[in-house]
Amino acid sequence: MTNRPLNFYDLVETLPEPGCAICTLVERDTARFLDSHLYEYVNTPETHAAMRASRGLCATHSAQLVDYGAQVLGIAILHAAILDELLKQAAVPRSSSRLGRLRGNGETVAGRFEASGRCMACEAMERAEHQHVRALAGHIHEAKLKAAFEQSEGLCLPHFRLVLEAAPDAPRHDLLLQMQVEKWRGLKAELETFAEKYDINHAGRAMGAEADSWRRALRLVSGAAGVFGVRRK
Ligand SMILES: [Zn+2]
Ligand SMILES: [Zn+2]
């Protein structure tokens, strides 16, 4: 009996949906993380210390917070703490020996404002990604997960590479490769049909399922913006 991880059925349910299942699950988990930190953990010393150290979240995750309009109180409390930290750092007197040193090893005034921790949401995102990658790579040979993958659009390229690297043995590695290659083949054929029908000489030929193939190709190659458009702070 295989020991299935908790997210096994998340993958089974999400794979048949549009887009890369790992992107979808990582975005969902990150949204939940932000939500819970604004509701449940906003007053814990750990959250305050982490937000002070990281100087808030990265710009992408900060922008996501705006979506949680009902939790403006949490945003206000945490950001008052971050500003308190910046004001504390601004009040530290510059030693005379360092007077005039405006750049260098982090001892400068600018250096004091630098983050010493990463964006909490980016860290949560990477933890979630790691779990989903491991679960998919480790259990792909199980009928339920394999069938779900077959119904999917395939994984985005960055996640597919991670999953391949995480495959515990050659049979699982090769199964993943074979199934993803099928997805690439199918999509390439659709894109070619799309391009053909789009051509002026073939005007009038009705578009079929390939009509949105260009949109699917964008996410299959590049992944979701919420997952790969961040990671700067
Ligand atoms: Zn992905
Ligand atoms: Zn972030």
| Gap between the Cα atoms of 194 and 144, Å rounded | 32
What digits encode the pLDDT tens for the residues 57-70? 998 888 888 876 65
* Residue-level pLDDT at 38: 79
Distance in Å, CA 131 to ligand 1 centroid: 13
For residues 131-160, average pLDDT: 97
For residues 62, 156, 135 and 139, what is the CA-based torsion angle, rounded to 10 degrees? 170
Residue 17: strand, helix, or coil: coil
* Residue-level pLDDT at 230: 62
Q: Which ligand is nearest to the CA of 33?
A: 2
> How would you class 80 by CB atoms within 10 Å of its CB: exposed for 0-12, middle for 13-18, buried for 19 or more?
exposed
Q: Which ligand is nearest to the CA of 161?
A: 1
Distance in Å, CA 195 to ligand 2 centroid: 37
Distance in Å, CA 38 to ligand 2 centroid: 15
Closest-CA residue to 23 (of 226, 232, 169) = 226
Distance in Å, CA 128 to ligand 2 centroid: 13
Distance in Å, CA 63 to ligand 2 centroid: 10
In angstroms, the Cα distances linking 104 to 51, 89, 214, 233 are 25, 17, 47, 20
Distance in Å, CA 23 to ligand 1 centroid: 4
Tell me the pLDDT band of 160, cut-offs 50, 70 and 90.
very high
Distance in Å, CA 21 to ligand 1 centroid: 6
Distance in Å, CA 155 to ligand 1 centroid: 6
Residues with CB under 5 Å of ion ligand 1 are 20, 22-23, 156, 159, 223
Give me the residue spans of the domains in the chain: 8-228
* Residue-level pLDDT at 202: 67
Specify the pTM. Answer: 0.85
Which of 114-123, 152-161, 172-181 comes out lowest in average pLDDT? 114-123
Task: Judge whether residue 72 has pLDDT over 80.
Answer: yes
Q: How many helices (H) and strands (E) does the chain have?
A: 12, 0
| Gap between the Cα atoms of 82 and 48, Å rounded | 8
Distance in Å, CA 20 to ligand 1 centroid: 5
Q: What are phi and psi of 231, to 5 degrees?
A: 70, 55
Per the model's pLDDT, the better-predicted residue between 163 and 206 turns out to be 163
For residues 162-174, average pLDDT: 98
Distance in Å, CA 34 to ligand 2 centroid: 10
Tell me the pLDDT band of 106, cut-offs 50, 70 and 90.
very low
* Residue-level pLDDT at 51: 92
What digits encode the pLDDT tens for the residues 10-38? 999 999 999 999 999 999 999 999 888 87
Distance in Å, CA 139 to ligand 2 centroid: 29
